[in-house]
Amino acid sequence: MLAGKRVLLIIGGGIAAFKSLDLIRQIRRAGGTVVPVLTRAAEEFVTPLSASALAAEKVYRDLFDLTDEAEMGHIELSRAADLVVVAPATADLMAKMAHGLANDLASTLLMATDKRVLIAPAMNVRMWDHPATQRNLAVLKADGVLVAGPDEGEMACGEFGPGRMSEPDRILGAIAEALRDGPLTGRHVLVTSGPTHEPIDPVRYIANRSSGAQGTALAEALRDLGAKVSFVTGPATVPAPQGVSVYPVETAKDMLAAVRRALPADAAVFAAAVADWRVENAATSKMKKDGSGAAPALEFAENPDILATIAKAKKRPRLVVGFAAETNDVLEHATAKRARKGCDWIVANDVSPATGIMGGSENAVTLITEDGAEVWPRMGKDAVAAKLAARIAEALA
Ligand code: CTP
Of 323, 352, 367, 388, best ligand 1 pocket probe by most atoms within 8 Å of the beta carbon: 323
Cis ω on the peptide bond leading into residue 264 (within 30° of 0)?
yes
pLDDT at 42: 95
Q: Do domains 6-179 and 188-396 have the same CATH topology?
A: yes
Low-confidence ranges of the chain (pLDDT < 70): 63-72
pLDDT at 368: 96
pLDDT at 325: 87
321 CA: nearest ligand 1 atom: 15
pLDDT at 180: 82
Per-domain residue ranges of the chain: 6-179, 188-396
262-291 pLDDT, tens digit per residue, is 999 999 999 999 999 999 999 999 999 888
Give me ligand 1 centre to Cα 304, in Å.
Answer: 10
Cis ω on the peptide bond leading into residue 88 (within 30° of 0)?
yes
* DSSP code of residue 103: -
pLDDT at 154: 79
- Beta 277-279 vs 365-369: how paired, if at all? unpaired
Give me ligand 1 centre to Cα 202, in Å.
Answer: 25
pLDDT at 78: 87
Give me ligand 1 centre to Cα 237, in Å.
Answer: 20
Q: Enumerate the active-site residues.
A: 157
Q: What dotted CATH number matches 6-179?
A: 3.40.50.1950
pLDDT at 198: 98
pLDDT at 71: 62
pLDDT at 67: 60
Cβ neighbour number for residue 226 with a 10 Å cutoff:
16
pLDDT at 204: 96
Topology classification of domain 188-396? Rossmann fold (3.40.50)
pLDDT at 213: 93
Please count the residues of the chain: 397
Give the up-direction half-sphere exposure of residue 271: CA atoms within 13 A in the CB hemisphere: 31
